[in-house]
Amino acid sequence: MSVYRMILNETSYFGPGSITKVPDEIMARGFKKALIVTEQSLIDAGVSSKVLKLLDGIKLPYEIFDKFKQNPTIQNVNDGVAAYKKSGADLIIAIGGGSAMDTAKAIGIIINNPEFSDVKSLVYEAPTKNRSVPLIAVTTTAGTASEVTKNYVITDPERKLKFPCVDAHCIPIVAVVDPDLMSKMPSSLAAATGMDALTHAIEGYITKDAWAMTDMMNLKAVELIGRNLRGSVLDKNIDAVTQVAIGQYMTGMGFSNSGLGIVHSIAHQFGGMYDTPHGVANAVMLPFILKYNADYTGTKYRDVAKAMGVEGTDSMKEAEYRKAATDAVVSLSKDVGIPQTLPEIGVKAEDIPQLAVAAFADGNTPGNPRPTSVKEIEEILRSAM
């Protein structure tokens, strides 16, 4: 048996109202002041303010940093580092989706590892020595699972490039997954983040480094997300929202330890070049990559199809269950309103050669079950036009 490693976060809370546990964790750990990393729009919408009221209740001083984009940039991180230093905080609380989490992680890592103050030096698996500033992550979207992973992604606008960072030192000490916060998401955001989570689960299940523990997490996540995302997006059913929220967290634990594949390699480039929302980029590419990878996945597509609710998979032949898995993903994607082709999200044919080169160099590419090349990625992108 190969040697595998599992890295998980310390403490997590789940379920409606779980944000009420945040003050308990703060007081038990003796923190004195927090830098809140969140979007002003979430405060205005009464989402982040629910957490802020709890902090007011225990008289915890805090300052707010909201100067970051949906695909946080190098400058956003530098501004956040300066804000943390000025604040005198000893804790970071991220409230939001992947943008807030990624920004907070990068800030916390640089503060405690100043030799990596050049944000570009954090790319892929930077050899940091110290854990991040303590981070409490309160997610308001059911998608990235950044509240539990060792991953974050930063954008370099000058090079039109998103680069993934993988560092166990950035994992939040406390994660809060409260469906009451997620139920406020616009349907388009719920769809994009939910399909992002489904992509994590499927890619994490079929990647080269998948094994029994990560398979358990990722396949169950496929089931929870695949069978509940419609109800979460279309009906705002709190039970469905809760199941998707648990599923996205579960695959966060899974893919953080198994890795991903070229859906993410390609999606990162859309974010860097066009500022495409990450969940939308993943959702559009997932069916095309499923077809591309099919012959390199053994019987795993049967498991995916069954998990998503396809009937009769046990009696299907190989070609049938592989098509069934892909068709189930496409059907779900259409039902929740995801675009189906690259021109719909602004991808230009003339950019394909550059996108393919960058995607091939992405840190997720080696994990793809099928060996690939720049030429083959170009062909995939053209097929998605």
CA distances from 8 to 13, 107, 168, 251 (A): 14, 20, 9, 12
Over residues 22-52, the pLDDT tens digits come to 999 999 999 999 999 999 889 888 899 999 9
The average confidence (pLDDT) of the chain is: 95
Q: Residues of 58-97 as b/e, b for ≥16 C-beta within 10 angstroms?
A: eebebebbbbbebbbbbbbbbbbbebbeebebebbbbbbb
Architecture of the structural domain at 11-181? 3-Layer(aba) Sandwich (3.40)
pLDDT score recorded for residue 159:
87
Average pLDDT value for residue range 361-382? 97
Nearest C-alpha neighbor of 201 from the set 232, 225, 227, 175: 225
Q: Is the pLDDT of residue 65 over 90?
A: yes
Average pLDDT value for residue range 238-261? 95
Between CA 226 and CA 1 the distance in angstroms is 32
Residue listed under structure tokens 């860097």: 272
Average pLDDT value for residue range 331-349? 96
Which of 1-10, 51-60, 130-139, 333-342 is least confident? 1-10
Rg, C-alpha atoms of the chain: 20
For the chain, give the percent of residues with pLDDT over 90.
89
Domain boundaries, the chain: 11-181, 187-383
CA distances from 310 to 203, 232, 289, 339 (A): 19, 19, 20, 23
Between CA 318 and CA 321 the distance in angstroms is 6
Q: Is the pLDDT of residue 1 over 80?
A: no
Is 129:99 a contact under the CB 8 Å cutoff? no
Between CA 101 and CA 272 the distance in angstroms is 18
Q: Is the pLDDT of residue 194 over 90?
A: yes
Residues across the chain: 385
Report the 3 state secondary structure along 247-309.
HHHHHHHHHHHHCCCHHHHHHHHHHHHHCCCHHHHHHHHHHHHHHHHHHHCCCHHHHHHHHCC
0.85 exceeded by pTM: yes
Between CA 264 and CA 203 the distance in angstroms is 9
CATH number of the structural domain 187-383? 1.20.1090.10
Q: Please list, in sequence order, all residues whose beta carbon lies within 8 angstroms of the beta carbon of residue 222, skipping any fewer than 6 positions away.
A: 198, 201, 202, 205, 247, 251, 304, 307, 308
Residue listed under structure tokens 């595998």: 4
Q: Is the pLDDT of residue 67 over 80?
A: yes
Spell out where the chain has E strands: 11-14, 34-38, 62-65, 91-96, 135-139, 151-156, 161-166, 174-177
